[in-house]
Amino acid sequence: MPKLYLLGGENVFKRSAREVNERAFQDAGEPSFVLVFPWAKASFDKGYKKRKRLADYFTSLGAVMINFIEYSDSNETIAKKMADSNLVYLTGGLANVLVERLKNMGVDHLLYDYRGVIVGRSAGALALCRKCVVTSRSSSKVKIIDGLGLADLTLKVHYKLEKDSILERLSRQEKIYAVPEGSALIYSSDACSFIGEVYLFENGKKRLL
């Protein structure tokens, strides 16, 4: 099973979760060959500046090769590039869009069999979990969607205090892990560890892990 870094969110321009990414790169080992799936945006993330910014960031962390997977790539091409990498990175955006695209291309099965490190940022983290809690910034609307299930847990990213009442209510049905931006939950073989502040909502109550 891959080792998963479930990152609550990051401002890549400010490199606000550098500690998390440094740990992930260390776990992946040297030399670091990184494969990025920029599939979570509705119109795809093909912006040169965004990609260059991410590539520069990863180079500063020690990456010697950085590849971006296009949605037009064949399953065989994706499988070959994954086999040649030791760290896969799923970008942020819309979790439901990312999950659908990964399933449509058969990448979900490739991720299950992957033996390196997978970093999911924001929507990328949600997609890796069994269930995803998606809330609205401007209202109290909330929905729970299915993820890929590599991590057998329910996750909320971009956690902020103002969402406590919603999460406390939902946690009466199932446990919810809440990860703020800059923090991460590390999942490996059903064991969890944490970088920064990670919270567990269970039976209507919240506690810091």
Where residue 138 falls among pLDDT bands split at 50, 70, 90? low
Q: Report domain extents, the chain.
A: 3-208
pLDDT digit string, tens, across residues 31-82 = 999 999 999 998 877 778 899 999 999 999 999 999 999 999 999 999 999 9
pLDDT digit string, tens, across residues 101-137 = 999 999 999 999 999 999 999 999 999 999 999 987 7
Structure pTM? 0.96
Choose among 51, 19, 197: nearest CA to 119: 19
Strands (E), the chain: 3-7, 32-37, 63-68, 87-90, 117-121, 129-135, 142-146, 151-157, 176-179, 184-188, 191-195, 199-202, 205-208
Q: What DSSP character marks residue 154?
A: E
**Cβ contacts of residue 54 below 8 Å, gap of 6+?**
12, 36, 66, 91
Edge-to-edge strand list for the sheet holding 87-90: 63-68, 32-37, 87-90, 117-121, 3-7, 184-188, 191-195
Q: Which fold has domain 3-208?
A: Rossmann fold (3.40.50)
Q: Please state, rounded to an integer, the average pLDDT across all residues of the chain.
A: 95
